[in-house]
Amino acid sequence: MTSGSDNNGNSNGGSKKRPLVAILSGAGISTDSGIPDYRGPNGVWRRDPEAEKLVTYAYYMSDPEIRRRSWLMRRDGPALRARPNAAHEAVVRLERAGVPVRVITQNVDGLHQLAGMPERKVLELHGTARAVQCTRCKERSSMEAALERVAAGDPDPACESCGGILKSATVMFGEGLDPAVLGEAVAVTKACDVFIAVGTSLQVHPAASLAGLAADHGARLVIVNAEPTPYDDRADELVREPIGTALPALLERIAAG
């Protein structure tokens, strides 16, 4: 890939292009923001296997009690109150330094965008918890408005347009990823020069397979994660230090060239 412009489309006078950096982020990047991970040693699914039913499409659609519990989980959970941490902010600094950056995230918390990453540079593989979607007519609305209805006494709010079942605009277990978003993520992965997998167990597919795809296409693969992953043997660099300090240091090195 060659380019005569920088990350913002400005002419760079023919200088050497900066590497395209793809960052695959998982739950571990948001734990410093108070959002627990799911598959780590103290992850949500390990502590409460029943909680997985609350985000499983078949259970959600067939059981009103599961839906009521799901709405309470959304209301009481930390995701909507969380703020970006040092790792999210480091990604934004890299992008603002003129390095071409694309974030591919498994997270639904929206913290990359809250930190300042442009929406168009963040691919949310698993959707967003900040919106709700009707399972029948597909209309979207804000999570905030839906939770206001829950607070007003509606434990399982229905779509106001068609009466269909509402769910968070996330990809639940049993649902497929948006093919357009996944396709763009694959294209970015194949084109990047550096692929950083941070805070992800690399066990959930198809997102996990992006790490191997990047290596197959010649990218430098860096894995930043406290626990071993299935792709460690493919990595050019493994980082086990805490993400809040390790990722900023890594991205500063990349920004410095």
- Residues with a known catalytic role: 126
- Strand ranges (DSSP E) for 171-219? 194-198
Amino acid identity at 229: T
The set of residues, in sequence order, having a beta carbon less than 8 Å from that of 166 and lying 6+ positions away, is 132, 133, 134, 135, 146, 157, 158, 159
Closest CA to 43 of 227, 206, 238: 227
Is 162 annotated in some ligand binding site?
A: yes
- Rounded to whole angstroms, what are the CA distances from 108 to 53, 54, 129, 132, 237? 17, 15, 5, 12, 27
Q: Any known ligand binding at 192?
A: no
Structure letter (DSSP) for residue 218: T
**Residue 134 labeled ligand binder:** yes
Annotated binding site for Zn(2+): 134, 137, 159, 162
Annotated binding site: 134, 137, 159, 162
